[in-house]
Structure 1
């Protein structure tokens, strides 16, 4: 009689998502008044801090000043929608990034605070 031993490595698991919608609307900035004021009066600083919290380069949002459509704001929205499973359209992302930048950054910051899904980097070695 032969026996077979099966070894399975633990797989990364993502918590069940609360919703496939944004946790707040684009104009719900007054849910966090200090954050809203900071984003309105110093949007570049707020955008850099939000990007850093998201796990990206601190100065990445400063590239938004070089184009008509802010590429970093839009890219962050698309990335966040993908990470959190939010159903929305790239057309809305483009509109919000272009015409409502402070509100867009506030919405993304609120979403990160609400979801609180940690960023985990997994590395492996072949032995």
Structure 2
């Protein structure tokens, strides 16, 4: 029987685990965001338990010069979920001016805050001993 205990968190309470431009902290996320930004955004949405295609709505609004609603909304939701200090104005500015850096930061945050469970495997050891022989039975 296995029991699961949460592992230790690597992130300080109330802070983003990495800064907005800390791309070199996680090169895999940086490359993922650079080469396939929409895929990264959809991954973040899915890990936040939202519909994977939600960030694709941002494409519709990008031509109008608007704040990308999915990037902004998920950033606010992530700050609220993890009690990260910040402001709505900051979230608007980051989502509008540095949207791909914002998605990368959110992806790094989810990776670091995903408290990997520690699995403890407990096995019952049963010692089987042969039954005592009561007598010798002879069959003819």
Question: 2:104 and 2:38 mapped to 1: Cα distance?
Answer: 12
The TM-score with structure 1 as length reference comes to 0.75
The equivalent of 1:21 in structure 2 is 15
Q: Where does residue 132 of structure 2 map in the other structure?
A: none
Q: CA deviation at 1:117?
A: 5.3
RMSD: 1.9
- The farther-off stretch of 15-24 and 82-91 is 15-24
Take 1:112 and 1:45, find their aligned partners in 2: how far apart are those partners?
A: 15
Larger Rg: 2
8 A contact 2:20–2:105 mirrored in 1: yes
- TM-score calculated relative to the size of structure 2: 0.68
The answer to which structure has the higher helix fraction is 1
C-alpha contact (below 8 Å) 2:67/2:92 kept by paired residues: yes
Q: More deviation in 98-107 or 17-26?
A: 17-26
Deviation of the 1:102 alpha carbon: 1.2
Q: Does 1:46 align with 2:44?
A: no
What is the aligned partner in structure 1 of residue 51 from structure 2? 57
Which deviations, in whole Å up to 9, do the C-alpha atoms of 1:95-125 show, x marking residues without a partner? 111111111011111111111259xxxxxxx
Structure 1 ranges of 4+ moved more than 4 A: none
**Which one scores higher on RCO, CA 8 angstroms, separation ≥ 6?**
2
Where does the alignment leave 5 or more consecutive residues of structure 1 unmatched?
A: 1-14, 119-127
Aligned to 1:95: 93
How far residue 66 of structure 1 moved from its aligned partner, in angstroms, is: 2.1
